[in-house]
Amino acid sequence: MTFENFGKNEPFIKFVSNKTGYCYCYEAFECSETYYFLELRQEGSEKFYRLFGNIIDAWKAENNIKPEGLTYAAKFDKMKSPDLLWEIKEGKLIQVSGITKAETDYKKLRKQEGAILQSGGLKINSDFETYSGSVKTADNQTYYVKTVKAVPQTPALVSRNIGLQNIGNGFFEFKDASIYNDDLFTLKKKVYHTNIADNRIEEIDFETGLAKAVVQLDMSERIVTAAATENYIYFATTNKELFSIYRFDPATNEIKGLSNIQTAELKYIANASTGEKFAITINGFANRVQLYHSVSKTNLTSGFSSTKVKYYTIFDKDPAVRLINSRQVMSPDLTKFPFSYTGLVSSAGFNSERVLLNLYKDNDGKYQKLGTGVYNPNKAAYDSIKT
């Protein structure tokens, strides 16, 4: 039994028979060695996998059958761990180990044991220890692998001189022009800079005049926006297909990826044929960040455009990416129509169960009252919005 698409929009349980016989028959003479259980959402699939796995583990223990690899209880704990990497995206730097003779190109690959390579796209195997997919060596050779261990590598943190000058009365001037072009934000009385060009987040050291990198990513995953709460830095990256959300703890220098059913909707890649363009921004508050993801479509003939914005909240104490609301913003061709339609909404969430919506203006220009949305764990979103 395996859990496919864990944490995504359409999870399912997959059953595969043992070496003899069939595992599922739905009509006489119509049997299959594989059965897909598609009826449950994420929460129900998790519960089914955990409970039925407990039965299998108990049956094996009762009959003195040693499990091959992890028990289902251990697998479930692995799946729920925020540190588990289900996949290592193409282009990420990795260190490979555990190369065995089972690999097709074992003689060539064994020379890469411990080397720093590029992922060609790797997915975790059912043992939750090894990956399959492809890797690319320093001399641009691609090898397909079945069961290698792979650990993502982070580029070394660096510092750079930004020509900081104290001009008196508590004011400072930066000689580095990039500081003016990118985002500055504060955390625990320290100033940070989102260095888009060099793909890192830096702390500004006013004593030494240096910008010290605290987060540094390789160029396969570009940082696009960042913001801070009172305790953490949140930032979004893109691999040219999807946006990913991360949380950085300056106290421990730990980076955690925030992934659940909602993050699969955070598209990035533009579609020239439909005129779609995607964008994302993060705003910081005391105990949470607000995330805005938008997709814009423009009719190149008429000039008519529309933008759909989805609003998400991530709380420090419960770091799940949760959908709050969505709004459609439409703009007619202003050469023909002297007006446009707008819709604005923001949030002032105060805990993980409820979120308080601010005043917002609807498409008719009317201001709506404050509203409260109740979080629905089955949908992984806020609903029951009342004004």
* pLDDT for the residue numbered 360: 55
Element (H, E) at 170: none
Q: In the chain, what are the domain boundaries?
A: 2-80, 87-152, 220-386
* pLDDT for the residue numbered 256: 87
Q: How far apart are CA 201 and CA 183, in angstroms?
A: 10
Q: What are the distances in angstroms from CA 213 to CA 192, 209, 223?
A: 9, 13, 13
- Please answer whether residues 284 and 346 qualify as being in contact, where contact means their C-beta atoms are separated by less than 8 angstroms: no
The closest alpha carbon to 238, from 91, 56, 140, 57, belongs to 91
- Sequential pLDDT tens for the chain (387 residues): 999 888 777 889 999 887 666 677 777 777 888 888 888 888 899 999 999 999 999 999 999 998 888 999 999 998 888 778 888 888 888 999 989 888 988 988 888 888 889 999 899 998 888 999 999 988 889 999 999 999 988 788 889 998 888 888 878 888 887 777 667 899 998 999 999 889 999 999 988 889 999 999 988 889 999 999 999 999 999 887 788 899 999 999 988 888 666 666 788 877 767 678 889 999 999 999 999 998 888 766 666 677 888 888 899 988 888 888 777 766 655 445 444 444 444 444 445 555 555 555 555 666 665 566 666 767 766 666 655
* pLDDT for the residue numbered 296: 84
Full-model pTM = 0.66
- Please answer whether residues 180 and 174 qualify as being in contact, where contact means their C-beta atoms are separated by less than 8 angstroms: yes
The closest alpha carbon to 256, from 292, 231, 280, 278, belongs to 231
- Radius of gyration for the chain, computed over Cα atoms and rounded to the nearest angstrom: 25
Q: Dump the DSSP string for 326-374.
A: EEEEEE--TTT-S--------B---SSSEEEE--EE-TTSPEEPPEEEE
Q: Dump the DSSP string for 287-309.
A: SEEEEEEEEEEE-TTT--EEEEE
